[in-house]
């Protein structure tokens, strides 16, 4: 049996049962491999002594790792995996981590899927080994639970999450966030509460907010009925501020104090700690729903030179696929124009570039706004690599952006830069986040049809200069302002006031 197993390792095996398209080469003919031999190996191992059983298991493990197999399904049978788990546990553990000795396309992933699905307390112990050996794969398996791998049972969840609380918190393991994002059962609530305290940073941390939101859905009418959602032992050893915020975010406004009172009454928390946990804090708006991005700053980046008055814009790193052309092009009657970057802020997501404006004539009054369509007729271009730009059409074809890519990618976000192909041809680029934003550009023209400005919305402020004056979807209230006492408008779109400054003094956007 060992000889047959050793001789069977060879060229790629196509184990995909799906029909192959006509244009694909035919699948290689079936041949003997560990896949076809595994049932026989299990039967032989069952009748062998301990040494023979271990030898068969080691050869089977080696064949699984060495044989490349195509297809998404896992061909390793539960019985064959049980043989490996029982007879070669040390070798199996040593091969959890990806290794250069593993054949590309081999069965390493088949082993990990089975390890993830081991039931009971033994499964929790193996989860600990897997997460420490190959966190990336552990995170992927957590995301695949219920689809490609077995979902943990309600009784298994607490032990599994308790394992995750023992992992080193920094950098945060992928498996922690992946497991927390699932729709875990109430039985896991106490362990998840502890997980948020161990691996969370503060109340704005996505992990803390994710776990708190799930706990909130599990709340019942009476506070005393929710005591099982909190790990009251863990809260004794964690930072009081972290515990307070998790208790606050896991319920609606006003639900924290009754829960703390119920814990004190049940002896789960002493009176002094209870008073500390009930102290007043300012509940942020994002705790009860989405909050908008707001204007934070407007920065003059510099001037772009426009030979022949040809202006373009788009994702500068995708220009190669457009034949060296920007996503959109228009004609302007100036050879030089100023570019400004609008920066927006969000209490959870930080600061990002929100708009690009080019000003060809700062003294002209815009009479009309027109959406600029891309060369392919779309209403927007999509940012693929997190960068938007505006500038001379000639600069896009120069290849300059590829020379500057690494320098710009190292900049902290939000970021912007002015690139020059030569003394007369330039572009301004800025970072865009989140990635894959849809960017729309409007041209502002005068009564006689001159383009005097363009505005590109980068998807955060939902700017639409042609829609009329609004303030992030509503009218501004009296005195509402941001960085200055002014109100800044982009062609009638009113934003919280932010002064645009340069060495010539204050200016305004639009």
Residue at token pair 């023992």: 166
Give the integer Cα–Cα distance in Å for 281 and 293.
23
Quick one: which of 209, 182, 178 has its CA closest to 196?
209
All structural domains of the chain with their residue ranges? 1-116, 185-289, 296-459
Query: What angle is formed at CA 161 by the lines to CA 246 and CA 203, rounded to 5 degrees?
Result: 20
Threshold 0.85, pTM exceeds? no
Q: Mark the ranges of the chain whose per-residue pLDDT is less than 50.
A: 320-322, 469-510
Contact 328, 375 (CB under 8 A): yes
Give the integer Cα–Cα distance in Å for 37 and 83.
13
| Contacting residues for 328 by C-beta, under 8 A, at least 6 apart | 312, 313, 314, 372, 373, 374, 375, 381, 441
Q: Which residues pair with 463 in a beta bridge?
A: none
Residue at token pair 């980068």: 458
Give the integer Cα–Cα distance in Å for 100 and 235.
43
Both structure tokens of 229: 């959602």
- Helix then strand count (H, E) for the chain reads 17, 18
pLDDT at 25: 65
Give the integer Cα–Cα distance in Å for 47 and 146.
35
pLDDT at 325: 82
Contact 309, 333 (CB under 8 A): yes
pLDDT at 133: 95
pLDDT at 496: 39
Give the integer Cα–Cα distance in Å for 307 and 284.
50
């Amino acid at each position: 049996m060992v000889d047959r197993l050793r001789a069977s390792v060879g060229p790629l095996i196509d184990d995909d049962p799906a029909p192959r398209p006509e244009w694909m080469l035919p699948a290689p003919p079936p041949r003997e491999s560990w896949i076809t031999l595994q049932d026989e190996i299990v039967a032989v191992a069952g009748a062998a002594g301990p040494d023979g059983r271990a030898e068969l298991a080691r050869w089977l493990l080696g064949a699984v790792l060495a044989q490349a197999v195509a297809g998404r399904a896992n061909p390793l049978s539960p019985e064959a995996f049980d043989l490996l788990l029982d007879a070669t546990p040390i070798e199996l553990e040593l091969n959890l981590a990806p290794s250069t000795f593993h054949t590309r396309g081999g069965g390493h992933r088949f082993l990990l899927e089975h390890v993830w699905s081991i039931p009971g307390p033994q499964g929790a112990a193996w989860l600990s080994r897997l997460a420490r050996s190959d966190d990336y794969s552990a995170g992927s398996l957590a995301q695949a639970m219920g689809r490609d791998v077995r979902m943990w049972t309600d009784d298994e969840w607490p032990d599994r999450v308790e394992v995750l609380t023992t992992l080193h918190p920094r950098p945060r393991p992928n498996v922690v966030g992946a497991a927390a994002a699932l729709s875990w059962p109430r039985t896991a609530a106490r362990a998840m509460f502890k997980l948020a305290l161990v691996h969370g940073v503060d109340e704005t941390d996505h992990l803390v907010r994710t776990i708190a939101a799930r706990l909130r859905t599990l709340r019942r009418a009476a506070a005393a009925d929710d005591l099982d959602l909190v790990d009251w032992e863990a809260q004794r050893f964690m930072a009081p501020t972290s515990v307070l915020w998790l208790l606050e975010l896991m319920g609606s406004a006003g639900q924290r104090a009754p829960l703390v009172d119920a814990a004190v009454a049940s002896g789960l928390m002493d009176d002094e700690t209870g008073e500390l946990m009930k102290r007043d804090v300012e509940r942020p708006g994002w705790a009860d729903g989405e909050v908008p991005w707001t204007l934070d700053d407007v920065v003059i980046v510099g001037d772009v030179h426009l030979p022949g008055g040809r202006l373009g814009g788009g994702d500068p790193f995708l220009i190669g696929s457009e034949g060296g052309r920007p996503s959109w092009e228009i004609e302007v009657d100036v050879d030089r124009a100023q570019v400004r970057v609008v920066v927006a802020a969000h209490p959870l997501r930080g600061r990002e570039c929100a708009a690009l404006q080019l000003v060809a004539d700062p003294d002209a009054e815009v009479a009309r706004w027109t959406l600029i369509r891309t060369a392919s007729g779309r209403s927007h271009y999509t940012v693929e690599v997190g960068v938007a730009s505006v500038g001379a059409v000639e600069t896009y074809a120069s290849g300059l952006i590829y020379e500057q890519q690494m320098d710009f990618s190292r900049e902290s976000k939000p970021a912007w830069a002015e690139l020059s192909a030569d003394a007369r041809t330039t572009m301004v680029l800025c970072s865009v986040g989140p990635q894959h934003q849809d960017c729309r550009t409007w041209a502002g023209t005068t009564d006689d049809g001159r383009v005097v400005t363009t505005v590109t919305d980068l998807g955060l402020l939902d700017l639409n200069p042609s829609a009329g004056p609004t303030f992030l979807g509503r009218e501004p209230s009296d005195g509402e302002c941001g960085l200055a006492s002014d109100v800044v408008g982009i062609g009638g779109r009113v934003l919280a006031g932010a002064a645009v400054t340069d060495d010539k003094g204050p200016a305004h956007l639009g």
